[in-house]
A = this chain, B = another copy of it.
């Protein structure tokens, strides 16, 4: 028997597996494929969804080694590249690069629509808005669970984000043209060089 999940948080799933699987816990390989859509449901299935994507496995002490190998074969078989790490390292990293961006996108859309002219603003939005907010269309029940399961890590990364935002705003308030350009340039360089992991897909 091989049991896997495909959730975006691992610490909470491992706790649930300990309770639910008990003496079968060795069969469990916690898994998180770094791929997805803002659409849920079997009618949006896509056979190529995992091609070229990373899948993170976070085996625990109890996990049988043979099952980690079988899990790796399953994911490699659908074209994914497997990475292994601890559940703690996983949950911290994904709070930063996935869960927090979702929270920010939800909050951003809420802030726009809460304004009297919000709907007029949305009519004028372009491709930048389209991409920045794509993840705000995510499944509410799923993202409620993710944000609550990984709450402490997400809130910690949110604090770091607010501090960075305050730094940019201070440069704007000071009219510090060179400082603001330098700060934007540093972010722009990082993002321009970035590509999706070692398992980069062409887009």
Contacts and interface: CB of A to CB of B under 8 A. Distances in A.
What range describes how many residues of A lie at the interface?
35 or more
A183 interface: yes
A147 interface: yes
Nearest to A108: B161
B137 A192 contact: yes
A180 B124 contact: no
Q: How many copies does the complex hold?
A: 2
Contacts of A35: 126-127
Contacts of A131: 131-132, 134-135
A194 B105 CA distance: 14
Contacts of A111: 157, 160-161, 163-165
A113 interface: yes
A112 to B, nearest CB: 6
Interface stretch (A9-17, A70-78, A114-122): A114-122
Given A124-B94, A154-B172, A169-B155, A101 B132 contact: yes
Contact of A196 (B130, B132, B135, B175): B130
A187 B110 contact: yes
Interface stretch (A22-30, A61-69, A138-146): A138-146
18 contacts: A36-B126, A56-B124, A96-B112, A97-B112, A101-B129, A102-B128, A103-B169, A104-B104, A105-B187, A113-B190, A114-B160, A130-B203, A131-B134, A131-B135, A138-B184, A140-B185, A148-B177, A151-B173
